[in-house]
Structure 1
Amino acid sequence: MTETSSRGAKAGSRGSRPAGGSPRILGVDLARALALIGMMAVHILPLRVALAGDGFAPSWAATLFSGRASALFVLLAGVGLALLTGGAAGPAASRLGALRRSVLIRAWLIALIGFGLAALDTNVAVILVHYALLFIAAVPFLNMRRRTLAWWAAGWLLLSPLLYYVLRPWVEGVMDPFRLGNSPGFTDLATPLVFAADVFLTGYYPLLVWFGFLLTGLFVGRLALSRPPVALGLLVAGSAMAVGSKLASERLLELPGALKSLRSATELNANGLEVALATGQRLDGAMDTPWFLAISTPHSGAPLDVLHVTGCALVVLGAAQLLCMAFTALLGGVGEMLLWPLTGAGAATLTIYAGHLVALDLFSDVSAPLPRNVLFVIYVVAALLLGLLLKFMGRRGPLEALVHGVSTTLSRSK
């Protein structure tokens, strides 16, 4: 949801120029579109389905997107911040103050939109307030060197889940309530302690853990993303992280007593635990056993989950950039145009994310009789058509234009 221009991008990976802006890196926009589609899937489709006989199974939406889409969304936010502040070259010292002000203004505007969306009746965990707070937390890191960022990102990814495992049960024990019953809204500011506990530790997107995704993206955005070896390196490294962490979790859970302990802690039967481990739903109590550290469940905040979704995000970004470079190298401008629906949607994620939540609320009665798969296809097609239209017109999305205009104007004022 940030501008993604980079002074160091090569022609083969650069997209069209939005009105008044810089060329965009197509692979980043394509990856954003995939993250957006994934989040729409988990918002619209069920995460578990009833089996013909007895019990449940995780849905295809949960298997593909649960936890992964939102982590990709946040990692790409870090990439966008890096590209907004100079890309591989980093921010110029003379512009650092203005860039920091711009990021802070963007954060407050996104937070206001997120607070407003929380009032909708969608049963969706709106991420925008958390997204905005992550922007604010990233401000001190904007001028860090690439190697320093790499150490910070690696340390945060490895250590924050362990701190989360220690702190969350303690907070739940001393606070009542310890989390909000909905997405953070304006009214929740009246209970600042509960609000803080929810967004930083006990809620759906605990910032203690999720800041690692943004730091990783900030580091990745300082790389020369337009170079094929860099994109390939992201794909290979991400694959190793994603597959290695998932295999490690499977092996650990095969150890004697692991699943029995988790079933006892969560009060689930064998089928219920299997589905919960795949979807992240109904896993309350898992932190009461040390075997929590062995799971790679979406939105659990467990160490192997954090490494897995980070790896998946790097895979998607690397593959998207390689695909865009291949299209533009082989087909030139025609190849770029073929990607317009996706890259256009990826360049307008704030507008489409907010718009699909508003639509889910406004048209809930009309859409209720529709099969969920059909409704999902309708929303995806609408997003792609809007992306195509914006690309054809050379325009930003309405909310992107608003955030860009206000932040640019105010950050330049003295």
Structure 2
Amino acid sequence: MTHFSTSGATAGKTSAATGKGSRIAGVDAARGLALLGMIAVHIMPLAVLSSSSVPSATWAGTLFAGRASALFVLLAGVGLALLSGGSGSIAAPKLAGVRRQVVIRAVLICGFGLGLGMLDTNVAVILVHYAIMFFGAIAFLRLRAVALGCWAAGWLILSPGALYLLRPWLQQVLDPSRLGASPLPEDFGTPLVFLADIFVTGYYPVLVWFGFLLAGLCVGRLALGRPPVALAIAVLGALLAVGSKLLSAWLLAMPGALSSLRQATGLDSTQLAVSLVTGQRLGEAPQSIWFLAISAPHSGAPLDVLHVTGCALAVLGAAQLVCMALHALFGSVGEMILWPLTGAGAATLTLYAAHLVALDLFSDASAPLPRTMLFITYAIGCLLAGLVFGFLGKRAPLEALVHSVSRTLARSA
């Protein structure tokens, strides 16, 4: 789910603008928000029943379902772009070294993902999918913003249609439903089923989600330190997010649309309305042609893909504008104000893994606690950890491990 802060920039040198040896504060802040969003959907229910058994979406389902994980992947692309030269050019020999680093990081992250998937958390761990997307990104690291923009736009527009056509066929032929939401080491024993789940039928189908990474690569090639660029990204993202939702609402208001979806899913009107917000219980929705008009999280429908891409761009652009404004108004004090969020964003791999381990280890003790209180506890823990990392100017443990191993092995190759 993510760029897990594995770029080569110095962890503690966070700046509102881009610069050599510095991180971009807006990218880290957006990454921190994505981390908190992911923790929210891991802990909070996405929907609840009232005393009269009427379902409704929770704030976590309404705000973060599908959006936080897509933001993570888009920021992965931004991080890879920064690692491979950002808005500037990079010499061929250095690019070859960067590609080797990306391969090593992908292998390490895949290993982390397989290990975390074995925990008893009921969380769909994205790290294996994330690693596969890293491998795919290697072929695009030499491209500049315009070419990457074309690739991203084409991928985001066309891949949902390919998913819509391929998923039912693969589900029938290979039965990948017997795999869990998180890939496990034993899944390699059935490679065709495993690949079908990773690329098409799983919770994070790489066939579609790779488009988010390409969009991030394109954005990372822009001059993010310039306010007009950040503003343009925020405005474009907001227009895309709102426009896709409005288009979905207009299409679903057409005669027969919702009734067709109710018939396909077996849900009543209230249940379907909640499912269109949370993305849950829509497994049979593709049996209706009106599936292509929905924008429900994790559906892989065209308007869902465009909506979450727009949300990710809007959050990144807005975060960068806020960071630049605080830096302009208060200088280094403004950067210190952001340390809890940007520090957490620079340590997302460590904090993501830590919260999953904690959810497993303390499941019995935390079960009686109200979910909101539990989320607040985890969120405060992440922000405090971010404050510590920001103050110390050090990489978090897993980020330091990935950085050190990838650079050492890439140089020796």
Normalising to structure 1: TM-score of the pair? Answer: 0.96
Offset of residue 51 of structure 1: 2.0
| Residue identity in the other structure for 1:268 | L
Cα drift, residue 294 of structure 1 = 0.2
Contiguous gaps of at least 5 residues in structure 1: none
Is the contact made by 1:42 and 1:65 (CA closer than 8 Å) also made in structure 2? yes
Q: How does 1:13-412 map to 2 (within 5 A)?
A: 13-14=16-17, 22-178=21-177, 180-412=179-411
CA distance in 2, matches of 1:177, 1:224: 42
Amino acid at match of 1:87: G
CA distance in 1 between partners of 2:128 and 2:9 (Å) = 26
Q: Secondary structure at the match of 1:395?
A: coil
Label 1:6 to 1:324 Cα distance change in 2 as closer, same or farther (>3 A): same
The C-alpha deviation readout for 1:279-337, integer Å capped at 9, x for no partner, is 11111111111101000000000000000000000000000000000000000010000
For normalisation by structure 2, the TM-score amounts to: 0.96
Secondary structure, in 3 states, of the residue corresponding to 1:187?
A: helix
Moved more, 88-97 or 107-116: 88-97
4+ residue runs of structure 1 moved beyond 6 angstroms? none
Give, in whole Å, the separation in 1 of the partners of 2:292 and 2:89. Answer: 36
In 2: Cα distance, 1:237 partner to 1:231 partner: 10
Secondary structure of the residue that 1:87 maps to in structure 2?
A: coil
Distance 1:153 1:183 in 2: 26
Task: Give the drift of 1:12.
Answer: 6.2
Aligned to 2:23, the other structure's residue is in SS state coil
SS at match of 2:87: helix
Matched pairs, number: 408
Alignment partners' CA distance in 2, 1:398 and 1:79: 22
| Alpha-carbon shift at residue 381 of structure 1 (Å) | 0.4
Q: Is the alpha carbon distance of 1:381 and 1:79 closer, same or farther for their aligned partners in structure 2, counting shifts above 3 Å? A: same
Q: Is the 8 A contact 2:176 2:201 kept in 1?
A: no
- Structure 1 contact 252–258 (Cα < 8 Å) conserved: yes
2:182 match: secondary structure: coil
Verify the 8 A CA contact 1:6 1:88 in the aligned structure 2. Answer: no
Q: Distance in 2 between matches of 1:210 and 1:32?
A: 17
Overall identity of the aligned pairs, in %: 64
Distance 1:200 1:59, change over 3 A: same
How many Å apart are 1:210 and its aligned residue?
0.1
For 1:116 and 1:293, the matched residues in 2 are separated by: 35
Which AA in structure 2 matches 1:240?
L
Deviation at 1:146, TM superposition (A): 1.7
Partner-residue secondary structure (3-state), 2:229: helix
What displacement does 1:145 show?
Answer: 2.2
Which residue type is aligned with residue 230 of structure 1?
V
Contact 1:2 1:81 in 2 (8 A): no
Cα distance in structure 2, aligned partners of 1:6 and 1:387? 16
For residue 391 of structure 1, report the CA deviation from its aligned partner. 1.0
Residues 179, 202 of structure 1: 8 Å contact kept: no
1:54-100 deviation line (CA, Å, top 9, x unaligned): 32001000000000000000000000000011100143222011100
Letter in 1 for 2:367: A
Q: How far apart are the structure 2 equivalents of 1:219 and 1:206?
A: 21
Shift of 1:177: 3.8
Which deviates further from its counterpart, 81-90 or 23-32? Answer: 81-90
SS of alignment partner, residue 112 of structure 1: helix
The one-letter code sitting in structure 1 at the alignment partner of 2:329 is L
The more displaced of 164-173 and 178-187 is: 178-187
More deviation, 171-180/188-197: 171-180
Q: CA-atom RMSD, angstroms? A: 1.7
Q: Runs of 5+ in structure 2 lacking a partner?
A: none
Deviation at 1:6? Answer: 7.6
Q: Is the 8 A contact 2:15 2:24 kept in 1?
A: no
Change (3 A) 1:300 1:278: same
Q: Secondary structure at the match of 2:56?
A: strand
Query: For 1:362 and 1:233, how far apart are their aligned partners in 2?
Result: 44
Structure 1 distance, partners of 2:15, 2:403, is 26
Partner AA of 1:76 in structure 2: L
Is contact 1:27–1:317 with CA below 8 Å preserved after alignment?
yes
Q: For residue 225 of structure 1, give the secondary structure of its aligned residue in structure 2.
A: coil
* Offset, 1:147: 1.1
Tell me the CA shift for residue 11 of structure 1.
9.5
Contact 2:159/2:208 (CA < 8 Å) preserved in 1? yes
Conserved 8 A contact 2:234-2:313: yes
Q: For residue 179 of structure 1, report the CA deviation from its aligned partner.
A: 5.2
- SS of the residue 2:124 aligns to: coil
Paired residue type of 2:244? S
The answer to whether the 8 Å contact 1:265/1:285 transfers is yes
